[in-house]
Structure 1
Amino acid sequence: MNSVLRRNLAKLQCALKKDLNFNTGNCFFTRNLNIGVQGAGYGGGQPKSGLIHGPELIRGSGFIQFLVDEVGHDIKDYGDLTFDETRDKSPTIVEGCVPLNNVGSISRANFQIYESTRKILSDNRVPLTLGGDHSISIGTLAAVSEARQDIGILWVDAHADLNTPYTTNSGNLHGLPMGFHVKELAHDFKCLATQFNWLVPRIPAKNIAYIGLREIGGRFNPKAQRENIKRLGIKTYTMGDVDRLGICEPISSKPTLYLEILSLDSGQRIFANICSVRCGDIAELDYNQILDN
């Protein structure tokens, strides 16, 4: 296993274990969830290789068993999805945009993820998806927002992933997954309506909060994305804010959050998302333990 990944997962387990009996105000760690685990080791949203191994590495760390033994969750493992990793022969060209990479492959993979997540939800289980690059949340969010009419998003990551086809400066769709689902940005995605004809944006910007943003306006969050966050009034909290305010205030700012997205920045990006949790379900976040090397 990648040594950095092993170290970060171990730190995450320690942080969670420390918080099992934490109870202050609205912050508490939820036990006894019925969880459905699925592996989605798809990496076509960006150019690096190796993300196909993400689910295997996360399972091999003992993290899933930790959720059973230490937290008390009931877990059913739905196995790993198998994707056709063949990349598109040429980028998608849209007037006014940089060439968009691998659009067809990403849509097909995320339709699989969408269908499998719907299955987990129909079994009345909380989907826990092991990736994979950030583009896999296009499919998970599509399924959960379809099932929950007033879903909110708590996006825990160093980057906002709120680009549109017109604001991305790389053409890699792993920087666009949140943008796909924001109702107010739907007009910017009409140029991809043919490829993503199965996807309906259902999430209003007021239902989104970011925790852990590190680089707004930098290379991964160009100026237009930063302006979208401001224009749409999306709540944002840096890890400095979390250190200063604690985690309760950022979480309680969105009382109807049902989805947590947790991204571990560990050299190769490892992505896990836990759907359908209440807003009080995180006791603590530590940037050094969870989001950094």
Structure 2
Amino acid sequence: MYHRIPEHTLNDGLKVPAIGLGTYSLKGEAGVKSIAGAIDAGYRLIDTAYNYENEGTVGKAIRQSSVSREELIICSKLPGRYHSYDKAIVAVEESLYRAGLDYYDLYLIHWPNPKQDLYVEAWQALIEAKNRGYIRSIGVSNFLPEHNDRLVKETGVAPSLNQIELHPFFNQGDQRQKDAEYGIIAESWSPLGRGNDIVQDIVNDEKILQIAETYGKTGTQVILRWHTQLGAIPIPKASSLQHQKENIDIFDFELTAEEMGVISSFSREDGRLWGQDPSEYEEF
């Protein structure tokens, strides 16, 4: 059963739903149908990226859905190869052309790429793109506290949102606390901790399933609820309507502090699933 999705107000005033849809690998006509179906089922936050090569798919899904563009929050991301100022401006314009949109609600720098050391220049370009009306709110993805400190110090503008790897194996407590000092909201990619065969399937862990049974929910729903109670915005990817509806149906119960602690206890210092350390990793 669908329940109304609460909203977060970002530090620049934009209101964003407490859960969204990840679209990585959703492409072509099948992707259009899947994303349009999710919008019709209640999703209002849709996440894509220049490097996902599906901004056009997202744009067509928006036009095919039963929901007006103004009701949606659409997010895309700037790739590392376009961090220089002039290239970043053009990349944002190209993102809009690909999607057939007049503006993005959110646009993020996908990775800081510290070896390249152009992320401040990229940030200055996003500030300009926002001034031009291309973007309503600007943020970052995979930025460490020191990266955000530098953005604020050199431009005076804090990101509104930081999309980070966040799941029970890596709960990012320090990162979330430091981002919160700037009013930066955490958004969780890979929120269910899937994608790496080495780690256990957390949604079917005995402790998680015991909590789920208490509320008549699934392990997936319990973990996504954990994210929302942390104050983070999970963006699980789901192609089937059944899973999309399951993921969004998490606002009719509340985990206790003890249950939150059980889920957080899975976290570990080396919890990144792919070893992508933003202090070293380069994405182009």
TM range (shorter): 0.3 to 0.5
TM-score scaled by length of structure 1? 0.33
Task: Give the alignment's TM-score, normalised by structure 2.
Answer: 0.34
